[in-house]
Structure 1
Amino acid sequence: MIGAGIFSALAPAAAAAGTGLLIGLAVAAVVAYCNATSSARLAARYPASGGTYVYGRERLGEFWGYLAGWGFVVGKIASCAAIALTVGAYVWPSQAHAVAVLAVLALTAINYVGIQKSAWVTRAIVAVVLIILVLVVVAVLGWGDPQAARLDVRADATAGGVLQAAGLLFFAFAGYARIATLGEEVRDPARTIPRAIPLALGITLVVYAVVAVATLAVLGAQGLASATAPLSDAVRQAGLGWLEPIVRAGAAVAALGSLLALILGVSRTTFAMARDGHLPRTIAAVHERFGVPHHAELLVGAVVAVLAGTADLRSAIGFSSFAVLVYYSIANASAWTLTTAENRPPRIIPIVGLAGCLTLAFALPVTSIITGAAVLALGAAAFAIRRFLRR
């Protein structure tokens, strides 16, 4: 979660909400908290690879599990491509697509040799990113011209704009699902996963809130909305140009960290769907030495590499947000069916989570809604055809 989103999501969110950016962040955090709580309780009950794909199947029926898995896979593949392009844009703007493809291939190779190496690489990346974010906050608040008046909510903050900003910012919070998708690869998952998900979300929320307040106080809503690299622009505004290359490097490292975790999570859901026959069963093969679903790893890496070489960044982000919000809608509906004996969350949690996800999904730009709905409908049609042929 502490990855590419904090370097890229603030600008489009500010363009949508204006001075209501921080309200949008709060709305996204509330919905994310409900989703995280529902996911944690379900993960404790079903500690298996696949996340909401498994929960929807077990609690709501085969179709809803399939739709969740389909939404997660296609949405996160688009997100992988978007984040890879973010790496390219920061590292070598004129060759962004080529750099993006190379990044995908390199991280697929890291994931291929086992989860332990992936975890260590992720820890190192998060440490570097946190240091960069601390430097940015200290620099812009200490040497810039922060003004509390720039944090005031004004007339440009419409309800629709705030909701759209929340949907865009939710893109950056969504990483906790990847914890649940690794249920078969961690020790004591029934205890570990429910603790890890809310802890990760809480840390991320604090980091995002501090960075958002600092950049908004220095650049203002209009300056932040027009920024192509918000944190770099904030540092430059503070008169610390020497720090800008460091921030750009940190953004690239952050994007690589997000991409590493994304490819890992998508491949595990693909593996689970293949194991259940919703995708070709050869994809469910597990490597004898490394213990990873290597066919799923290679397939996901190849598809992401193709998209990273051809896709448009903003379209990929919008589509990904819509698909992931639908995914979490199914997670909240699944959590609603838990009983007291199954350690269900308070009823209000899945209700707010479900309503929030659907509201944010349909507050996104119209093109994102149409494209996302069309791809989900295509997946549903494939499910119906497969069931008909099987009968």
Structure 2
Amino acid sequence: MDVFDRMESEVRGYCRGWPTVFTTARGSHMTDENGKTYLDFFAGAGTLNYGHNNPQLKRRLLDYLSADAIVHSLDMYTAAKRDFLERFNEYVLRPRGLDYKVQFPGPAGNHSVEAALKLARKCTGRETVVSFTNAFHGMTLGALAVTGNSMKRTGAGVPLGHGVAMPYDNYLDGRTPDFLLFETMLEDSGSGLDKPAAVIVETVQGEGGVNVATAEWLRGLQDLCRRHDILLIVDDVQMGCGRTGPFFSFEEAGIVPDIVCLSKSLSGYGLPFAVTLMKRDLDVWDPGEHNGTFRGFNPAFVTAVAALETYWTGDGMEKETVAKGQQVQTALESIALRHAGAVDGVRGRGLAWGLVMSDAELAPQVCNEAFRRGLLMETSGPESEVVKLLPPLTTTEEELDRGLEILSDSLEAVRQKVSV
């Protein structure tokens, strides 16, 4: 692996925790060049909800490419784009009573967020955007300005302005009523808080530590935004596309955001793809006012349609994900009970879960031990104190049991080493 050390920037991260060279992948498994196979509870940081090289999606992609169909098109009209828009409306928007316009801002989640922030400011004529403690919205400057992690923010190298952080759900352990600070500052002309253009929120903060907002808190946030004429942006980049059960993570709360950011598993195959959804009256862009060279990646349209037709023509995927989530929750709670001195708690929804360690140093040790035993997981949280589980939604019950067993054994092994 000398070439990586010699040629690749020091900024690389995941490979440091998983020091092997991967060559093939299928479903919930990845295999390295030595022939060792790993169970994947990382899923491309939530990009591979339907697993690696899903056969139904792969067949569509190969057929499309072999026909010399359009690959690159910026925002030109193509048959693949039309098919995606029609199917997305048919299988996702219309059944949920949603009437959003669709913008293709660029290939990644941060592009969706940047477009959402710019649009909110253009619509309202205001500059400030409110985000929440432990939020993560991307690594470009606008997205970093509404991200909480100090290490990531410092990497910007310039002041990050026009963003204000408020406490996320249960950030103060219930000691202060929801939105008391936020609403008080909005109503006090001396608070120093300019009236925001928008609020941006994750219903489940994945990178922030798998912090789950309750449906009541989300409904309260929507109510506050409506009363104060503030746009509500839901960043569903990681928790959308079925990760929490429903296609959109905000469905359970019964809210309707003004703007929605989607990416990661939208293509279903790991191909770069993002959209920004907006209520019709918010589509105030001038032609070309926000653009990008790779905002029309047609192969991603093709695999996205295949994913929608395979998994989202009914509620089967949602029900399976909720049931598997209960399976994971039960196992994690059992692990937490057996290791009460090392585990502070379990939190999550659907198939996004976190095991919160009492000592932040334990979480990366557990993930390292799990890697040695053939399981891929990452950490999250402000101190990397959470062992985070994001298995593909297509992971079988047996694979989930196996991975959870490896996690349990890894935690036991780490605790034994620490106690020696």
The TM-score with structure 2 as length reference comes to 0.31
The answer to which structure, 1 or 2, has the higher relative contact order (CA under 8 A, 6+ apart) is: 1
Structure with greater strand percent: 2
The TM-score with structure 1 as length reference comes to 0.33
Structure with greater helix percent: 1
Q: Larger C-alpha radius of gyration, 1 or 2?
A: 2
